[in-house]
Structure 1
Amino acid sequence: MTNTKFPRRAFLMGGLVAFLSGCASKFRSYNGPEVTRLRMYKAQRFLVLDGTDDVLRTYPIGLGFAPEGHKQFEGDGRTPEGSYVIDRRNPDSLFHLSIGISYPNAADIALAQAEGKSPGGDIFIHGGPRKGIDPINVRDWTAGCIAVTDRQIEEIYAMVRDGTPIDIYA
C-alpha cells in the first residue's frame, strides 16, 4: 500500500511556503500603466501618482517636523516645494524602502549659499516612522522627507521609475 497523502501534503506545503515567501518580500512587482508624474500637496497631506490618462494612486503623507514653507537650509525640518525628479532609490533604507528626490536644485543651492548655509539634501519618500514615533498622534515627524506606510512605499517603489518628475506644492 502506498501513501498517497505524503506527496499531496508535500505539494501543498511547498505551495504554501512559496506563497508566504512572496508575501514577505518588500519588493513588489508592478505591471500597470506607467507613472508619468508625481504631485504632492503639502497642505492637504497627500501624494498623487499620475498616469498618462488619469490618477493611478493617491496616498496620505507625513512631512518634515516644520511643514510650513519651502526647505531652505539643512536642519530646518521643512519639506521642499517646487519641481524635482525622482533620482535614486535605496533598498536598504532605515525607513523600509525609499526613493530620492533631486533636492537641492541650482536655485536651492544659490539661496542657501547667499545666506552662508548648506541647503541640506537626502530628501526621500520613505516608509514607516522611527521607533518611538506614534504616526497617529505625530503626523509630521521627518527631517524634511515625505513619509508613507511601509506597505505604501512598497507600492510606490515598484511603480515609480528614476527620472519621473515630482511637483511639490505648498
Structure 2
Amino acid sequence: MKQCFVAILVLSVFTWNYALAQDAKGLTKKEQQVFNKREKSLIQQFREANLSWPVQQLYLRSFKQDGVLELWVKNSLGEPFVLFKTYNICALSGKLGPKRREGDKQVPEGIYYINEFNPNSDYHFSLGLNYPNQSDLVFADSKSPGGEIYIHGQCATVGCIPILNSPIEELYVLASIVRKQGQDIIPVHIFPIRFNNQQSAQAIQMLVGSNPDYMRFASQLKEIYDYFEQYKQLPIIGITQEGAYKILSR
C-alpha cells in the first residue's frame, strides 16, 4: 500500500514542475493564435451550459469500443464533475485490450495523465500521455514497451487518440487553462468499453473468457468506472507492486 502512495506523489511532483516550466516560457505564436480563435467560443459554450468560467478542473475519459473521448469539468473539489462535451475519435487502431509492446498498434487501456503539451506536433496540436505507467511496465515488453502516445489532431493513428484539428484546439486550450488555474494532474482514463452497456459487456466477456489476466485487469478498470459513475468524483488510485490498479480512497 505504501508503494502505491509513493507512485502518486512522484506523478504529482513531476507534472507540477513541468507546468511551471511551460508557464515560464509563455505561449508560442501558434498557441496564442489558437487561444484567440477558440477561447471566446468556449466561454460562450460554458455560459450556454450554465458552467462557470474559467474552468478549474478537467477530466478526460475515453472508450475504445465507442470511439469517443469525453470532457468532464468542475470548479471545486467538493462538487461533482459535469460532462461538458464528447468528441468522436476519428480513427481507431488495434483492438480491445491494453498496449503491451512497441509496434502492436494498440491504444493503451488504463489510468494516465497528460504529461506533454506540444503545439508543434506533426498532427497539429497534441497532448502526451504518460504511457508506459508503472502498471504497464509490470506487464509490457521489458525492452520495448512502446511510448509516444498522444491525443492529437488530424485523422491517423497507430495507437494514439486522434480527434481532428478543431476538437484538439478546444481541448488544448481547456487543458492549458486548467493547468494555469492550478490543476497539476489532468487525468485521462482509457477504458475498453462502457461497463454498464450490456452489448459492450458481452463483447468484452468473449475476449476475457479465454484470458484470465485480462479479466483481472478489466475488473480493476470496471471498479474505477463504477466509482465515477456513482459519485461523479475521481477516487485516489494507486498501483500495487504487481501492477494492479487499486482504489485507495473512496
TM-score, length of structure 1 as denominator length:
0.71
CA contact (8 A) 2:90 2:164 kept: no
The amino acid across from 1:152 in the alignment is P
- Who is 1:85 aligned against? 113
Match of 1:121 among 147, 156, 173: 147
Structure 1 or 2, whichever has the larger Rg, is 1
Q: Does the aligned pair in 2 maintain the 1:40–1:169 contact within 8 Å?
A: yes
> Partner of 1:71: helix, strand, or coil?
coil
Q: Distance in 1 between the 2:65 and 2:136 partners?
A: 21
User: Are 1:34 and 2:34 an aligned pair?
Assistant: no
Does the CA contact (< 8 Å) of 1:63 and 1:145 recur in 2? Answer: no
Structure 1 residues 127 and 89: alpha-carbon distance in aligned structure 2, compared to 1, 3 A threshold = same
- Quote the residue 1:142 is aligned against: 157
Aligned pair in 2 of structure 1 residues 82, 69: CA closer, same or farther (>3 Å)? Answer: same
Aligned length: 135
Q: Any gaps of 5 or more consecutive residues in structure 1? A: 1-23, 130-140
Counterpart Cα distance in 2 of 1:83 and 1:154: 23
Question: Take 2:95 and 2:126, find their aligned partners in 1: how far apart are those partners?
Answer: 20
How far off is 1:36 after superposition?
Answer: 2.7
Q: Which residue of 2 aligns with 1:110?
A: 138
Q: Determine the C-alpha separation between the residues in 2 that align with 1:54 and 1:124.
A: 24
Aligned-residue RMSD, C-alpha: 2.2
Is it true that 1:101 corresponds to 2:129 in the alignment? yes
- Aligned counterparts of 2:147 and 2:139: Cα–Cα separation in 1: 14
Structure 2 counterpart SS, 1:142? coil
Query: 8 Å contact 2:67–2:92 — kept in the other structure?
Result: no
Tell me how far apart the structure 2 counterparts of residues 47 and 124 of structure 1 sit (CA, whole Å).
13
From 5, 20, 25, the counterpart of 2:33: 25
Name 2:72's counterpart in structure 1.
50
CA contact (8 A) 1:40 1:47 kept: yes
With CA pairs under 8 Å and 6+ residues apart, which has the higher RCO, 1 or 2? 1
Contact 1:127 1:149 in 2 (8 A): yes
Cα deviation, 1:23-68, whole Å, max 9, x if unaligned, reads x933443554234311111101111111124111110014552132
2:64, 2:190 within 8 Å by CA — same for their partners in 1?
yes
- SS of equivalent to 1:48: strand
Conservation of the 8 A alpha-carbon contact between 2:102 and 2:146: yes
Distance 2:83 2:56 in 1: 11
Match of 2:99 in 1: 71
- Matched AA of 2:149: I
Query: Deviation string for 1:63-94 (max 9, x for gaps)?
Result: 55213211111110000001011111100000
Which deviates more from structure 2 when the two are superposed, residues 25-34 or residues 50-59?
25-34
- Unmatched 5+ residue regions in structure 2? 1-31, 43-52, 75-80, 193-250
Please tell me the residue identity of whatever aligns with 1:153: I
